[in-house]
Amino acid sequence: MSPLTNAKIRELKARGQLLKPALKVGHDGLSAQFIAALDETLKHHDLVKVKFSDLKDQKKTLAPQLAEKTGSELIMRVGNVAVLYRAKPVPEAAAE
């Protein structure tokens, strides 16, 4: 993935402010099922907001781990939410 420009990051932050949390990190933390659900959500939506309902004291370390495990970028972390971005893959048929 190519590095994001400052303008693109600003645009993503603005979009992220308007999103509702798609997933919530519960007491199970970053379980394999949660990572799979987040990965699936990122396949359909390039920008995803994740809320830390539990483990709020660990959000500073968990948010970058979420990005790393899903191949996404951590756009911002504000309060108990984090916004992750992963560009949607270009469909093969559209490239032809």
Q: pLDDT of 16-55, one tens digit each?
A: 999 999 998 888 888 899 999 999 999 999 999 999 887 7
Q: Within a domain: residue 96?
A: no
pLDDT band at 9 (very low <50, low <70, confident <90, very high): very high
Domain that holds residue 30: 6-87
Regarding predicted confidence, which is higher, 3 or 72?
Answer: 72
CA distance 30 to 23: 12
Is residue 2 over pLDDT 80? no
Q: Within a domain: residue 10?
A: yes
Q: What pLDDT score does 11 carry?
A: 95
Q: By the 8 A CB rule, do 51 and 38 touch?
A: no
Q: Within a domain: residue 92?
A: no
Q: What region does 39 belong to: left with phi over 0, alpha with psi -120 to 50, or beta?
A: alpha
What CATH number did the domain enclosing 10 receive? 3.30.110.60
Q: What is the pLDDT of residues 54-83, one digit of tens each?
A: 777 888 888 999 999 999 999 999 989 999
Q: Within a domain: residue 75?
A: yes
Query: Tokens 């968990």 sit at which residue?
Result: 62
> Cβ atoms within 10 A of the Cβ of 7, count?
8
CA distance 53 to 25: 6
